[in-house]
Structure 1
């Protein structure tokens, strides 16, 4: 019997913040992301938009890749960030686009 690969939260915080890891893995990515009212692709687009508008670019690295896994294209994600420049502010969109470029092109 093999042990499952640790989650991202477990890798980041392991024994340091076990309650946060539990909430992240069980509640957020377990219950919330599994609700049927929105598709995983829709949830990813909403999440990328929220992270962009709030300037949380550290979290964008994971969520841009997850959005691609959930069916969003690079072109759609780039367009979403471009669109958000007019609502979230140019600096936040530029920061988010820099993250997208690193995630999508490795630059």
Structure 2
């Protein structure tokens, strides 16, 4: 896919996943590094998320799991909201975090659950 089409596809997926407020916040990266922003939109969301085999909800399950594994809790906040936007239920997200405890340990799972609780309250 050519670069402009990749970017357009990525921007479209981001609109489905994230609120305008979140997208605006994410766009701050563009002011610092337009190149990194282009990579995020074109590759991260255009090349990866826009693929057809997995649903956006399935992709968010993968993303949540990897973010918990890495301890990338600021990114986790954004993707918990995106997961809800794709139709994942609170119960499914809770179960995902519980399942992660066996692989990543209780400290990361407990922190992830706390963040999820905050996101659930906001919704």
The whole-number CA distance in structure 2 between the counterparts of 1:15 and 1:57 is 23
| Aligned match of 1:9 | 26
| Aligned match of 1:47 | 63
Gaps of 5+ in 2: 1-19
The whole-number CA distance in structure 1 between the counterparts of 2:78 and 2:31 is 21
Do structure 1's residue 79 and structure 2's residue 95 form an aligned pair? yes
The whole-number CA distance in structure 2 between the counterparts of 1:31 and 1:9 is 18
Q: Which runs of 4+ in 1 moved over 2 A?
A: 5-9
8 Å CA contact 2:64, 2:76 repeated in 1: yes
8 Å CA contact 2:71, 2:108 repeated in 1: yes
Gaps of 5+ in 1: none
Q: Which has the higher helix share?
A: 2
8 Å CA contact 2:77, 2:115 repeated in 1: yes
| Aligned match of 1:96 | 112
When the two chains are superposed, the root-mean-square deviation of aligned CA atoms in Å is 1.5
Q: Alpha-carbon deviation of 1:27?
A: 1.6
The whole-number CA distance in structure 1 between the counterparts of 2:103 and 2:47 is 30
Structure-2-length-normalised TM-score: 0.76
8 Å CA contact 2:68, 2:108 repeated in 1: yes
